[in-house]
Amino acid sequence: MEWILAKWAIIDSLSPFLMKGLIITFKISMIAIIVGSLLGFILGILKTLDSPWLRRVINLYLHVLRGSPYLVQLYIIYFVLPSTGVAWLSFDSFTAAVVSLSLYTSSYVTEIVAAAVNAVPSGQEEAARSVGMSKSQSLLNVVVPQALKLTIPPMASVYVIVIKSTAILSVIGISELTRQGEVAIMRMPGDIMFIYCLIAFCYFVYCYPVLRFSRWAQLVADPANRSDCFTLIRQVDHATEMSDVDLGDVVLFARDFYGTYNFRSDLHRDGQIDLMDVVRLANSQGARCP
């Protein structure tokens, strides 16, 4: 009991400082995520265009940022650039943190967006061009909306990495979460393990909702991933034998979740059932299904 009270006293005394550090971490990471995502989205789209010299420039940008440690990039932006004497390259610590983290984020977002755009079947753009759309119209109205669905899972991983990368910012005097914890350890060296556990818990509280939000966004963007749809579909084999479910209703219900999604591209989902068999059985009972 005394141990619990002692630890609770530590939490009570450190919570204002850790909360202050968490707020600074939140501000920097959110700005970097927003700015880096916008820059990365633009560069990712440009990278998919038929311009060899533009791709070379973007690839050079990506190789430099992804091929060097973030700590080195932070030092260059905060310490090296001001030494050039150019006024607009002299940053305070907060601005240097935002700029460096935004560029770091954009390097990964660029690759994710470019890969997602290239993953969209070329027939989608060809179909859009065949109805009179220009290349830019087909890209923005047809290809990009489909590509955005593919970017959600990897984007969430990048955002969590960005949030955790803010722990490095203490080297340029940013009093973010980790720095506040280090100051607390100087005051309470005997509780170093407990304090680091508190810091880790604060990062978890911040990162976990980001991952859950990405899962929710993925379900909203692609209703085919909704578990309730597949829960019903997985019952079809049993329902066929028991005659307690109309297969036509099953298919139509599933198609409501799929929207215009092609059934034929999701055969053997979860290893449970062949949706083409559902379609065939439904058609045999008079249901209209593609």
The pLDDT > 70 percentage for the chain reads 76
Predicted local distance difference test score (pLDDT) of residue 245? 46
The pLDDT > 90 percentage for the chain reads 39
Rounded distance between C-alpha atoms, residue 199 and residue 207, angstroms: 12
Predicted local distance difference test score (pLDDT) of residue 223? 56
Any alpha helices (H) in 188-235, and if so which ranges?
192-221, 227-233
Fold of 2-221: MetI-like fold (1.10.3720)
Q: Where are the domains of the chain?
A: 2-221, 227-284
Q: Is residue 262 over pLDDT 60?
A: no
Extract the tokens encoding 204: 């978890």
Predicted local distance difference test score (pLDDT) of residue 275? 52
Q: What's the mean pLDDT in 226-248?
A: 46
Confidence band, pLDDT 50/70/90 cuts, at residue 250:
low
Cα dihedral 182, 187, 188, 194 sign: negative
Predicted local distance difference test score (pLDDT) of residue 68? 92
Q: Is residue 128 over pLDDT 60?
A: yes
Rounded distance between C-alpha atoms, residue 290 and residue 288, angstroms: 7
Tens of pLDDT, residue by residue over 143-197, are 888 888 889 888 999 999 999 999 999 898 888 898 898 888 888 888 899 999 9
This model's pTM is above 0.75 = no
Rounded distance between C-alpha atoms, residue 212 and residue 27, angstroms: 20
Predicted local distance difference test score (pLDDT) of residue 248? 52
Predicted local distance difference test score (pLDDT) of residue 235? 46
- When mean pLDDT is compared across 17-21, 25-29, 36-40, 225-229, the lowest value belongs to 225-229
Confidence band, pLDDT 50/70/90 cuts, at residue 218:
confident
